[in-house]
Each structure stands twice: as C-alpha cells, then as structure tokens.
Amino acid sequence: MLSAIAVIFIAIVLSQIILLNMLLGFLLIVGIGLVFFSDIIIGYQISRNHVNVLMDPMPPGYELCVLFDFSGNLDFLKVKKGPLGTREFVKYKTEANIVNKGDYQIRCINGNHGFVGHEDYGENVNLLKVEALDKLPGDDIKEIVYNIPKEKMVSEE
C-alpha cells in the first residue's frame, strides 16, 4: 500500500519535472531505476550464495549446516534431520549425509540451530577440539582424529 502511494507521488513529481526540465527528470528516473536494480542484485546474490538460510527461519525438521569443502570454501546448507543424528542434503547435485553428534552446536542471530561440517569428514566438527588438536601430526582431519589416541598414549607415558 505504501509503495503504491510512493509511486503515485513520484509520478506526480516526474510529470512536473519533465515539463520544467528534461535533464532533471531523466536523472531522477535513472536514480530510481538504479535503486530498484541494486535491490534486485542484492536479492540475487543472497539467494545464489545460500545466505538466505542465515536470515529465514528454518522449517521444522531442518537444521543449518556450515559446510567447509576441500577448497576451503564455506557454504550454508539447509539439511534435513534424519534418524540417529544423520542430516541429509544435496551438494553438487549429489545426495549426501553427515552425522550431527550434538557436541558443538551453533546458533544464528535469528535463532536457527546448526552445526559445522567438513566435506571430508562424516560427522560434525567441534571447533574447540580442532583448535586444541591443531598441533597434532596429520594433513587432513581424518589423520588428526586417528592420531588422537596415539598422542594420548605418548603423553601418559
């Protein structure tokens, strides 16, 4: 309703400006068009980069997954809750799942619950544990997790 009233006011102003000065009328029309065009571009970028899951509330039965891929890119996914902590999603047109053990939960500003995942690891990633394990030997997360018991045995001796 307010937008319709605003459009009517703008039309009245434009009709008077175009009669008085064509250049000012043209600049006003271009300025209004650029505002609308920039809003469209912002909306497109939000939907293309999956950032809308950070703003929109999650429907029941879904959860947010902050997924790191092999390249170090970050993606926000809406994952479907399954039995025994499994979370199902589609990535690169392939169905996949990840297990959320619930030991490191995150929460967005809008109240969405979620977890952190990695493309190479089948469970959620506990960022506090990852920070503590950063000094352990290994190149990827599977090797680091595999080396945990060995490091504990060495430190106990």
Place of tokens 């434009």: 14
User: pLDDT higher for 75 or 154?
Assistant: 75
pLDDT value of position 4: 64
Give the single-character DSSP code of 123: B
The pLDDT > 90 percentage for the chain reads 0
For residues 142-149, average pLDDT:
68
Give the single-character DSSP code of 136: S
pLDDT tens for residues 121-130?
Answer: 777 777 777 6
- Enter the pTM of the model: 0.58
Residue 37 CA: distances (Å) to CA of 27, 31, 43, 52, 136: 15, 10, 10, 19, 50
User: Token digits for 62?
Assistant: 């879904």
For residue 155, what pLDDT band results from cuts at 50, 70 and 90?
Answer: very low
pLDDT tens for residues 16-28?
Answer: 776 777 777 777 7
Domain coordinates in residue numbering, the chain: 2-48, 58-156
For residue 141, what pLDDT band results from cuts at 50, 70 and 90?
Answer: low
- How is 22-63 classified by DSSP, letter by letter? HHHHHHHHHHHHHHHHHHHHHHHHHHHTTTHHHHSPPPTTEE
pLDDT value of position 31: 78
Mean pLDDT of all residues belonging to the chain? 76
| Other CB atoms within 10 A of residue 87 CB | 23
